[in-house]
Amino acid sequence: ERYCPQRMEEFQSSAKATLSPEQFSRLSEEDLARFIVAREGNVSAALKQLTGSVKWAETALDPAQQGCELCSKDPNSHSILPIGLDEREQSTIIYGCPARATNSAVDPIVHHMSHQLDYCFSRPHSGSRW
């Protein structure tokens, strides 16, 4: 079964025991659900993926930099942006057009996409759809 309350409770307990209190406090129940569903209820695989994601985010996402520096200088720097909320589906609408991007450097693109996905995950009505 992809998602069941028992698996979620086990995963939540494992995550709490594995991550630091600060790391765990930044996770919502929806965040945890995304990982357990992605690993089809396999708690150890979900925990491995979550731990890797948390460690990556700590090194890749500078909390002082809450946006994309390139986007603030040139709104056409990247090809993918969230542009709104679909009222019927309550999900974030992502616009992508590779031809519009003026920057093709990999590291800034990864940084930009990380922040854009965090934005989508954090939306109260649509975060769980991701």
If asked whether residues 53 and 87 sit together in one domain, one would say no
If asked whether residues 74 and 47 sit together in one domain, one would say no
pLDDT in tens, 66-103: 567 777 787 778 777 777 777 776 677 777 887 878 88
- The reported pLDDT for the residue numbered 47 is 95
- Percent of the chain at pLDDT > 70 equals 81
If asked whether residues 125 and 99 sit together in one domain, one would say yes
For 32-83, the DSSP string reads: HHHHHHHTTT-HHHHHHHHHHHHHHHHHH--TT--S-HHHHH-TTS-SEEEE
**Tokens coding 29:** 């129940």
Overall pTM surpassing 0.75 (yes/no):
no
If asked whether residues 38 and 88 sit together in one domain, one would say no
If asked whether residues 46 and 91 sit together in one domain, one would say no
List the domain range (segments joined by +) for residue 116: 69-129
Angle between helices 29-38 and 106-122 (to 10 degrees): 120
Q: How far is CA 5 from CA 11, 14, 32, 83, 109, in A?
A: 10, 14, 12, 34, 36
- Please, are residues 127 and 117 in contact by the beta-carbon 8 Å criterion? no
Domain count, the chain: 2
